[in-house]
Amino acid sequence: MYYLIYRPNTISEIDLEVVADKIEAILKGKSIPHAILLTGPKGIGKTSIARILAKAINCEKNSFANISTSVDPCNRCYNCLSIAQGSNLDVYEIDGASNRKIDEMRNLIDKVKFLPIRTHFKVYIIDEAHMLTKEAFNALLKTLEEPPKHTIFILATTEVDKMPTTIVSRCIHINFPRANNTSIVHMLKRILKGEKIKADEEILETIAKNSDNSFRDATKILEQAIIENKLSVAGIHDIIGFKLFDQDLLLLISKQNVKDLLSILENYDKNGGSFKPLIEYYLDRLHKLLLFKKGLDSDITTDYNLTISQIVKLIRLFSEAYRNLKYSPIESLPLELAIIDFFSEK
Ligand SMILES: Nc1ncnc2c1ncn2[C@@H]1O[C@H](COP(=O)(O)OP(=O)(O)O)[C@@H](O)[C@H]1O
Ligand SMILES: [Mg+2]
Ligand SMILES: [Zn+2]
């Protein structure tokens, strides 16, 4: 699985610059904070970064071991390797979702007072931290109030609003922004380089646009495209569910067949079709159609019986639908409204 093989292992592999800078600043600081809270959307690097931190501060070959000036983990010494494998006895990775009970939390916190066995710091990585019970949070809070010197807590969550403010206020808080397309394309290129595979920029852009701003989702789409031999723009559309659409929307629009249009969109939605790539595709078609109508070179050579002002209007309405997609609880709704709008305002 690419998303495991290409998990960032060093600061420079974190394709999210603002966060990478903050992590570097923490590691270069005089003392490591005893509680760090990582919050942000899924697939953005929270777990990866928690592990980079755990490895960095316990590495046997970097600045923390006084061996080099680098704060990065070497990823080769015993501590780095055992932390990566999850077998290091001083680094605990706890899934908040399955360790919710107070006894488990107490059990864990009871061990906090013991010195680490082989490392400088005992590290507790608590993933999905918002899932802990109130009692578990209270036990954690007591420890955070008087943290032993050799212990560091790294909490990660997608839902910071569900974290008690008493806990949040005791942590150094790093909030991850959503990944933009440039960062995602950059990450995809790193994978392609590792796999010695070439792909056009346009393909990578298409993956990025459809990855929900998640590095993990983008990685999965790329992997599927390679496995299924679909590393092309059409292939990517296929993978993300665009294939269900075999009607030409513009043709139906020019025929003013609103009923068919709406029922096709309903069907597309029911079959799990994705509207983001669909609208993108038609905006691209409309753009090309406009160029053709203006006498410029374009790969569209039929005029669909649409006037320039109709095309412009469609572009405006489809762009608006595209923007509204994000906030619409029903994915098909923005495009349906655009089509109804188009026919009602004549
Ligand atoms: N900031 C990032 N830079 C590069 N790749 C990333 C980044 N964040 C996530 N990834 C990719 O996504 C995968 C999952 O990331 P993970 O750290 O588990 O995310 P989270 O814990 O935020 O859900 C990683 O293994 C890696 O392939
Ligand atoms: Mg995670
Ligand atoms: Zn190391």
d(C-alpha 226, C-alpha 205), whole Å: 16
CA of 69 to the centre of ligand 3 (A): 13
Q: How many helices (H) and strands (E) does the chain have?
A: 16, 5
Return the CATH number at 106: 3.40.50.300
Distance CA 160, CA 201 (A): 35
> Is 211 domain-assigned?
yes
**pLDDT tens per residue across all 346 residues of the chain:** 999 999 999 999 999 999 999 999 999 998 999 999 999 999 999 999 999 999 999 999 999 999 999 999 999 999 999 999 999 999 999 888 876 666 777 777 778 888 898 889 999 999 999 988 888 888 889 899 988 889 999 999 999 999 999 999 999 999 999 999 999 999 999 999 999 999 999 999 999 988 888 999 999 999 999 999 999 998 998 888 776 566 788 988 998 888 889 988 988 888 777 898 889 889 999 999 999 988 887 777 777 889 999 999 999 999 999 999 989 999 899 999 999 999 985 5
Contact 20, 14 (CB under 8 A): yes
CA of 174, nearest ligand number: 1
Beta sheet of 151-157, edge-to-edge order: 91-95, 122-127, 151-157, 35-39, 172-175
Range of the domain at 116: 2-175
Top mutation candidate among 2, 10, 48 for ligand 1, by most atoms within 8 Å of CB: 48
**Alpha-helical regions (H) of 59-180:** 78-85, 102-110, 134-145, 165-168
Number of other residues whose CB lies within 10 A of the CB of residue 118: 12
What's the pTM? Answer: 0.78
Distance CA 222, CA 224 (A): 5
On whether both 37 and 159 belong to a single domain, the answer is yes
Ligand 1 site, CB within 6 A: 3, 6-8, 14-16, 42-48, 187, 215-216, 219
Q: Give residues with Cβ within 8 angstroms of 110, minimum separation 6.
A: none
Residue 182 falls inside a structural domain: no
Instruction: Clarify whether residues 30 and 135 are in a common domain.
Output: yes
Q: Is residue 12 part of a domain?
A: yes
